[in-house]
Amino acid sequence: MFENLIGPGLFVISFFFMFLVVPWERIKTLLPLGLIGGLGVALILLYLMQNILGFWVFNQVDVINIIRIPLFLSLAWLPFVIAFSHLIAQYRNAILIIGILAAFPLGATLIHLFLLNNGMLTYHNWSLFGTLSF
């Protein structure tokens, strides 16, 4: 029922999250970092992990796939990296920073778990722990 809509859905959720936690002026400042550290790294990582190394295979996750890379799923990382960067720079409390540092890989792992359970992601010689720690 939700085939091909997970990528666009995560993209929309990530933008809402970013706009909730990051002021507009800060978004404009952090946009180059989001493009390189979010979208750029996501595209490279997905290409390597799926197409070159064969650890992951995405199945019907996105409406647009470019060389088997789910585009909207990759684009979702842009606002998450902007929000992550803003939050890390915003706080000085060690416990909050540790929580922020833990939240992002935990979120990616939970998304992978959801995709795995719904047959939209297949692992080959990979594990959820690898996602959490990578």
Task: Please write the tens of the pLDDT for every residue from 42-90.
Answer: 999 999 999 999 999 999 999 999 999 999 999 999 999 999 999 999 9
Domain range enclosing 74: 6-133
Residues 112 and 127: their CA atoms lie apart, in Å, by 10
Q: How many domains does the chain have?
A: 1
Residue 70 lies in a domain: yes
Element (H, E) at 1: none
Residue 32 lies in a domain: yes
Residues 80 and 18: their CA atoms lie apart, in Å, by 7
Q: Is the pLDDT of residue 112 over 80?
A: yes
Amino acid identity for residue 4 in this structure: N
Token pair of 51 as six digits: 């197409």
Q: Which residue has the tokens 């647009």?
A: 64
Does this model's pTM top 0.85? My answer is: yes
Residue 81 lies in a domain: yes
Residue 63 lies in a domain: yes
The answer to whether the beta carbons of residues 30 and 82 sit under 8 Å apart is yes
Residue 1 lies in a domain: no
Residue 110 lies in a domain: yes
